[in-house]
Amino acid sequence: MRIVLTGGGTGGHIFPLVAVASKLRKKVGEDIEFLYLGTSQKMEREIMEKENIKCKHILSGKVRRYFSPLNLTDLLKVPIGIIQSLWTLLIFMPDVIFSKGGYAAVPVVLAAWVYRIPVLSHESDAIPGVANKILGKFSNWIAISYPSAQKYFLKSKIVITGNPIREEITQGEPEAARKRYNLLESKPVILVMGGSQGAQCINKSVVKILPELLRKAQIIHQTGERNFEETVHLAGEMGVKAGRRGYYPVPFMQINEYKDALSVANLIVSRAGANSIANIAAVKKTAILIPLPTAANNHQQMNAYEIARIGGALVLEESNLGENMLLKEVEKLLRSENVQKEMSQKISAFYHPEAADKIADGLIELAGG
């Protein structure tokens, strides 16, 4: 059985691909071969290589919602990417394609349509991105995470699965995190993360209130690799050294570090990407969600407010992310164990442990297995 995985640009695209690939290996056994077609980003390549999945880079154009000469040059990349995809698919000739959307998936799915290779696409967000709105027309089935996404696709193609996450996410060990970061069991832990690439706006907002936060909690802070040095420097200017006084910044967490950090956290401050929300829901944690204001179709804001509507998280807009506001909300949540318990229970409704299973079964069926 041969399967092409496609999508990319962020961890939100890549990690669900990995989760489904892992489930497929368990269902099919060793008689399965994967090929990942996506961008040339280092993170994507490294993650796929660790999963023993072959990678090929194709060109694809990114549509920006503002004027930029890059829109024109990127548009020219699309036909080149389609030709690359046609050639690669002809050689590999997969039984089925699993697309996570994003601009990197467009040439691959269009090439698959030419060869009549079946495609299962997955939409993580409450509102589909431009790529998935287009690719939905060329897909056999479309798996969605939020019911609100149904109106954008043909009803006959839709199945609600939720967002697939890696099984390891729910297997974290708090004690391992305490040992790794020298955490005290008697003091609450805040996990700050801005998605797989970090978020400097969140980093700066947290660093500005570090002295006050550290009086009340210990902080594990995933800064993003490109923001790590600047964040550590800014923390130093606030009188806080990395690894001291309960402040533990890291550029990026591998799965073992990440699952342990999730398990030990009392409160999570996070972007509102679908993958981050699914992970938080899986471990039933209290969360402050800060949507990325420039996200395509404002999908992070829609994701966040879907959770907030049922009382599963507190949402803070980036434009309102002042020092006092963030500190006040963190303190309020840390003071009330009842509120924490209620919010963590409600957000768990967005965890779908069977999501990867359903998608894997769908891919096997489309492949004629």
Q: Which parts of 29-162 fold into alpha helices (H)?
A: 42-50, 69-92, 106-115, 130-135
Residue 101 predicted with pLDDT over 90: no
User: Lowest mean pLDDT: which of 64-68, 79-83, 293-297?
Assistant: 64-68
Rounded Cα gap, residues 207 and 214, in angstroms: 10
pLDDT for the residue 72: 63
pLDDT level of residue 294 (50, 70, 90 thresholds):
confident
User: Taking residues 12-36, what's their average pLDDT?
Assistant: 92
Residue 330 predicted with pLDDT over 90: yes
The token pair at 313 is 């998280």
Residue 68 predicted with pLDDT over 90: no
Residue 176 predicted with pLDDT over 80: yes
pLDDT for the residue 9: 60
Task: Quickly list DSSP for 294-326.
Answer: TSGGGHHHHHHHHHHHTTS-EE--GGG--HHHH
Q: What is the percent of the chain with per-residue pLDDT over 90, rounded to a whole number?
A: 74
pLDDT level of residue 74 (50, 70, 90 thresholds):
low
Torsion angle of C-alpha atoms 20, 44, 220, 309, degrees rounded to 10: -50
Q: SS3 of 151, please?
A: helix
Give CA separation, 209 vs 97, 179, 242, 246, 323, in Å.
Answer: 46, 25, 15, 14, 6
pLDDT for the residue 160: 94
Residue 11 predicted with pLDDT over 60: no
pLDDT for the residue 202: 92
Rounded Cα gap, residues 344 and 313, in angstroms: 8
Phi/psi of residue 107, nearest 5 degrees: -60, -35
pLDDT for the residue 103: 84
Tens-digit pLDDT profile for residues 149-161: 999 999 999 999 9
Largest pairwise CA distance in the chain: 61
Q: What is the CATH number of domain 2-164+353-366?
A: 3.40.50.2000
The token pair at 28 is 């099919």
Query: What CATH fold (topology level) applies to the domain 168-350?
Result: Rossmann fold (3.40.50)
Tens-digit pLDDT profile for residues 229-261: 999 999 999 999 999 989 999 999 999 999 999
pLDDT for the residue 195: 64
pLDDT for the residue 318: 87
The reply to whether 2-164+353-366 and 168-350 are identical in fold is: yes
Closest by alpha carbon to 36, among 9, 14, 5, 13? 5
pLDDT for the residue 131: 87
Residue 199 predicted with pLDDT over 90: no
Q: SS3 of 357, please?
A: helix
User: Taking residues 330-353, what's their average pLDDT?
Assistant: 95
Residues 6+ apart with CB under 8 A from 206: 192, 213, 219, 221, 269, 326
**Summary mean pLDDT of the chain:** 91
Phi/psi of residue 84, nearest 5 degrees: -60, -40
Rounded Cα gap, residues 352 and 161, in angstroms: 7
Which position has the token pair 């909300």?
329
Residue 309 predicted with pLDDT over 80: yes
What are the extents of the domains in the chain? 2-164+353-366, 168-350
pLDDT for the residue 260: 98
pLDDT for the residue 323: 66
Q: Which residues pair with 208 in a beta bridge?
A: none
Rounded Cα gap, residues 190 and 100, in angstroms: 30
User: Taking residues 329-346, what's their average pLDDT?
Assistant: 95
Q: What is the percent of the chain with per-residue pLDDT over 70, rounded to a whole number?
A: 92
pLDDT for the residue 319: 84
